[in-house]
């Protein structure tokens, strides 16, 4: 297998700005050998992304970024090459997506007391099957002229301290790892060190390893430098794979495709560890 691979990208099926086929075309244009499509809590982009990957001759690892939570701490779990029809995965992702809608409606109602904003303004920023999140509320706030861009929205109105925030349902990371493995997939913790003091406690990480955790996304712009160093130590100690990726969201974030990548040998091991779904190999 040749590289480079970018194992964390988002399309308009969640909070990216490109439809899956355009995202794959962008990856080909960026000179990537392959990408993983990892929309939040949804596999709805797999089919069109796979067709585009065959067309462009790039590799595609269908995946997902599953929302989980440990106590107050939000933990994003990347799952690759699992069976998208698995009953456990289907039930859990449907529950999360449904609660994300209720939660977004709650936030919009609160924001609506202080700013001109309605639920229809948010719906206007999404496609019918999209996983709804704060980025879509951000886009509605931009369209209404309340903020300049998503970054400003997250720094102000959508910040959890701003008074409008509401959490949404999410399972424990341990449950997430079990679900992905039970569906034949391969779990990797996304950006585990967005702040160096926020890495999961080591005894809990050990339980994730025992349940089948495959790797840690060490090379990601949101991991702190000290945190990434600590993650490398933990990866060596627990024999976890080290991945790198962009977390591309189209024009929704500054992250550029391929700004961090994963070694082809790691991708080979990841594919070999999966039994739920086959990658498209370019």
The residues that touch Fe ion, with contacts defined as CB under 5 A, are 15, 76, 190
Give the one residue of 9, 193, 247, 258 binding Zn ion; rule: CB under 5 A: 247
- Region from 78-86, 150-158, 236-244, 267-275 binding ligand AMP, contact rule CB under 6 A: 150-158
- Region from 89-97, 111-119, 131-139, 198-206 binding ligand AMP, contact rule CB under 6 A: 131-139
CB of 51 to ligand AMP, least distance (A): 25
Contact call for residue 121 and Zn ion (CB under 5 A): no
Residue 176 binding partner per list Fe ion, ligand AMP, Zn ion, none, with a CB distance cut-off of 5 to 8 Å that depends on partner kind: none
- Region from 54-62, 173-181, 233-241, 249-257 binding ligand AMP, contact rule CB under 6 A: 249-257
Please tell me whether residue 215 adopts helix, strand or coil conformation: strand
Q: Which two tokens stand for residue 42?
A: 């949804």
Spell out the residues 6+ positions from residue 203 whose beta carbon is closer than 8 angstroms to its own. Answer: none
Q: Exposed/middle/buried for 180, CB within 10 Å: 0-12, 13-18, 19+?
A: buried
Interface map 33-72 toward ligand AMP (x if CB under 6 A): -------x--------------------------------
Structure-token match 């409606």, residue found: 105
Task: Closer to ligand AMP by CB, 80 or 164: give it.
Answer: 164
CB of 69 to Zn ion, least distance (A): 15
Please tell me whether residue 205 adopts helix, strand or coil conformation: helix
Structure-token match 């209404």, residue found: 144
CB of 120 to Fe ion, least distance (A): 22
Q: Which two tokens stand for residue 35?
A: 């990408």
CB of 130 to ligand AMP, least distance (A): 12
CB of 275 to Fe ion, least distance (A): 25
Q: How far is CA 242 from CA 116, 147, 251, 270, in A?
A: 45, 37, 27, 11
Q: Exposed/middle/buried for 236, CB within 10 Å: 0-12, 13-18, 19+?
A: exposed
How long is the chain? 282
d(CA 147, CA 153): 6
Under the rule (CB under 6 A), what is the footprint of ligand AMP?
15, 40, 133-135, 150-151, 154, 249, 252-253
Q: Which chain residues interact with Zn ion by CB under 5 A?
A: 65, 247
């Amino acid at each position: 297998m040749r590289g480079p691979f970018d194992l964390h990208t988002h399309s308009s099926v969640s909070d990216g700005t490109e439809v899956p086929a355009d995202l794959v075309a962008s990856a080909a244009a960026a000179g990537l050998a392959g990408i993983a499509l990892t929309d939040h809590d949804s596999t709805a982009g797999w089919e069109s992304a796979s067709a585009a990957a065959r067309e462009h001759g790039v590799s595609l690892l269908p995946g997902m970024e599953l929302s989980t939570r440990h106590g107050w701490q939000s933990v994003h779990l990347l799952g690759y090459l699992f069976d998208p029809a698995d009953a456990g995965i289907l039930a859990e992702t449907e529950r999360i997506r449904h609660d994300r809608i209720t939660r977004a409606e709650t936030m919009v109602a609160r924001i609506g007391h202080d700013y001109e904003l309605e639920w229809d303004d948010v719906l206007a920023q999404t496609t019918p099957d999209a996983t709804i999140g704060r980025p879509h509320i951000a886009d509605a706030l931009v369209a209404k002229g309340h903020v300049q861009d998503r970054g400003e929205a997250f720094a102000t109105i959508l910040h959890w301290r701003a008074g409008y925030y509401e959490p949404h349902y999410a399972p424990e990371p341990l449950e997430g790892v079990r679900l992905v493995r039970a569906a034949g997939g391969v779990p990797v913790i996304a950006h585990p060190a967005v702040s160096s003091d926020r890495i999961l406690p080591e005894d809990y990480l050990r339980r994730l390893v025992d349940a089948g955790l495959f790797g840690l996304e060490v090379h990601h712009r949101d991991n702190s430098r000290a945190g990434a160093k600590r993650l490398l130590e933990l990866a060596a100690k627990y024999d976890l794979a080290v991945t790198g990726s962009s977390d591309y969201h189209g024009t929704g974030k500054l992250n550029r495709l391929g700004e961090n990548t994963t070694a082809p040998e790691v991708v080979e091991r990841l594919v070999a560890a999966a039994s739920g779904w086959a990658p498209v190999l370019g």
